[in-house]
Amino acid sequence: MKALITGATGFVGSHLADKLLEKNYDVYCLKRKSSNTRWLKDKNVKYVEGDLFSNEALSECISKMDYVFHVAGLVKARTKDEYMKANFESTKNLLEITHRVNPGLKKFILISSLAGTGPAVDEDYVNENSVPHPITSYGFSKMKAEQEVMSYSDRLRTCIIAPPAVFGPRDTEILIYFQTYCKGLNSIIGFDEKYLSLIYVEDLVKGIVLAAEKEESVSQKFFVSMDKAYNWDEIGTVTKNLLQRKAFKIRLPHSLVFSVGYISEFAMGLFGKAATLNVEKCKDITQLRWTCSNNKIKSMLGFEADYSLESGFRKTIDWYKEMKWIK
């Protein structure tokens, strides 16, 4: 089987490449000249030079594929237009090319995000039937990408995977949490109890490949998460036990978080760059419940997560230590 992965040089995409290679797929990776290929080094992948709008290169490659895994996406940008181009227009372009050159493709799989649906507000967990209510430009662009994929359901065999927070080796997002904790500080946003769904990266790619290969996934969307959601006190307890050290817990008021976000966004904007902690990110991290149900993928496809929060954190921490990213 031949598979094209966009975003293969990134965190999730590189783990997906590993999984497909393990299953003896011929793996093709879309790569820009500026891409860092360190996670794919010395692995039996084939590179397709170009970006998500390199139509000639994409057409030639996709025409020979059995699967297209669209993992690439932009999570940090200055404007809504930047998010829309990277996350929506790129998806639209890939779908148009795929329909034109390979309408018999076994599966086109979009890796989206819980952000495309939004946080749980009037329910404990959102599910695949929840009405989308994204709260950020990033989430809106992911919702539009999902809608575009579904609009092709009568012409292509499509599937959407929408994970919540993903963690594991190679990730640099949750790394900041562990680095801060190792310095003796456990920062928690707000004074209310916030919950989030999580998934270890190896479980996520297991779910992605399962959905790709299962006939039942055609024209479906699936959340891929652990069975339960966790609050930050529970996450802190697991972290403390694994690192075998304590950290001073400090709660940051929402007002302070937004103030820092405004200042950071303004300062980085002076240099024409996107801030990591901007106002939209502040909206994101101050929500009460970023939680989703995994009932559908379990019942329809037989998915079961292999990693608990503790076992996933253990592998992640061990890898960070091996890489000397934390001490």
Q: Does any domain span residue 253?
A: no
Domain hosting residue 122, numbered range? 2-171+197-227+289-306
Q: Does any domain span residue 37?
A: yes
**Residue 223 phi/psi, 5° resolution?**
-85, 135
Q: 94-138 pLDDT, tens per residue?
A: 999 999 999 999 999 999 999 999 999 988 999 999 999 999 999
What is the pLDDT, as a whole number, of residue 274? 86
Question: Six-digit token pair at 175?
Answer: 């790394």
- Rounded distance, CA 116 to CA 198, Å? 16
What is the pLDDT, as a whole number, of residue 97? 99
Q: Does any domain span residue 236?
A: no
What is the pLDDT, as a whole number, of residue 276? 85
Question: Six-digit token pair at 290?
Answer: 């970023």
Q: Does any domain span residue 127?
A: yes
Q: Does any domain span residue 61?
A: yes
Q: 15-60 pLDDT, tens per residue?
A: 999 999 999 999 999 999 899 999 999 999 999 999 999 999 999 9
Helices assigned H by DSSP within the chain: 11-22, 55-62, 80-83, 90-101, 137-151, 173-182, 201-213, 232-243, 254-269, 279-285, 295-301, 309-322
Count of domains observed in the chain: 1
Per-residue pLDDT of the chain (327 residues; tens, 9 = 90+): 999 999 999 999 999 999 999 999 999 999 998 999 999 999 999 999 999 999 999 999 999 999 999 999 999 898 999 999 999 999 999 999 999 999 999 999 999 999 999 999 988 999 999 999 999 999 999 999 999 999 999 999 999 999 999 999 999 999 999 999 999 999 999 999 999 999 999 999 999 999 999 999 999 999 999 999 999 999 999 999 999 999 999 999 999 999 999 899 889 888 888 888 889 999 999 999 999 999 999 999 999 999 999 999 999 999 999 999 998
- Rounded distance, CA 16 to CA 210, Å? 12
Q: Does any domain span residue 205?
A: yes
Q: Does any domain span residue 179?
A: no
Q: Does any domain span residue 326?
A: no
Whichever domain contains 215, its CATH number is 3.40.50.720
| pTM listed for this prediction | 0.95
